[in-house]
Amino acid sequence: MMSVVGAQPFIKPMQPTPSVSPGGQRRHTLPASEVRPLNTQDAISVFEIEREAFISVSGECPLHLDEVRHFLTLCPELSMGWIEEGRLVAFIIGSLWDQDRLTADALTLHKPRGSTVHIHILAVHRTFRQQGKGNILLWRYLQYLRCLPNVRRAVLMCEDDLIPFYRKSGFKVLGRCAITVANMTFTEMWYPISGHAYMRRNSEAIRFPQHLLTQHPLTLPLEKTDEQADV
């Protein structure tokens, strides 16, 4: 979908020490923690987390199951999932947009020639909230976007009570969003994407498939070093 000429970001899973059974044979163990792009096989897990997180609060899901599958088919490289012991615990889904501000079409369309990443949703499984995972995953995602040479900014729409969370991650308010859902209104926020992703030797990371991204490896730290949010 998107040509990449400058860098191939990858994050490979943390590798635990192999377990050894009393008989001396190694047992298969899942990575303790990994971050990877999502695919259509993750769609149901994504939707279950999303439905629990949003329906109880607003009565609306940002993306329905068919829309989750739609974006994970068209632009899986603009998604990111946090996996712990084989279980999805947090995720982000994005797509490309080609206008200065979001319109209703941005909710369902992916514009391959766009230079703006529209972040549709960030959600954390209820069991893993209040641990800073949302903040860490968002920071990781924004660092990853720096590796995509055609991307110039990220945008999102959120309810007013979430503005402090996104401001803490560096987003700035653009103004009231033109999109309304039922009786809900939103604020549109943006984040500039420039420079190169933070590089650090010996950090643990995940590999993004080579058919999606093709150039040099880039390593991103697994965790944000300072502040952690409550999401």
Catalytic residue (one of 88, 96, 122, 148): 122
Identify whether 45 is a catalytic site residue.
Answer: no
CA dihedral 82, 10, 156, 119 (to 10 degrees): -70
The first and second tokens of residue 8, run together, are 């191939």
**198 DSSP 8-state letter:** -
Catalytic residue (one of 63, 120, 156, 222): 120
Alpha helix ranges (H) inside the chain: 43-58, 65-74, 133-145, 163-168
Identify whether 191 is a catalytic site residue.
Answer: no
Catalytic residue (one of 109, 162, 174, 212): 109
Identify whether 38 is a catalytic site residue.
Answer: no
Identify whether 198 is a catalytic site residue.
Answer: no
Catalytic residue (one of 78, 166, 169, 191): 166
Cross-strand partners of 116: 97, 153
CA atoms within 13 A on the CB side of 39: 5
Phi (first) and psi of residue 199, to 5 degrees: -110, 135
Catalytic residue (one of 72, 95, 141, 213): 95
Identify whether 72 is a catalytic site residue.
Answer: no
The CA distance from 221 to 115, in Å, is: 25
Catalytic amino acids?
95, 109, 120, 122, 166
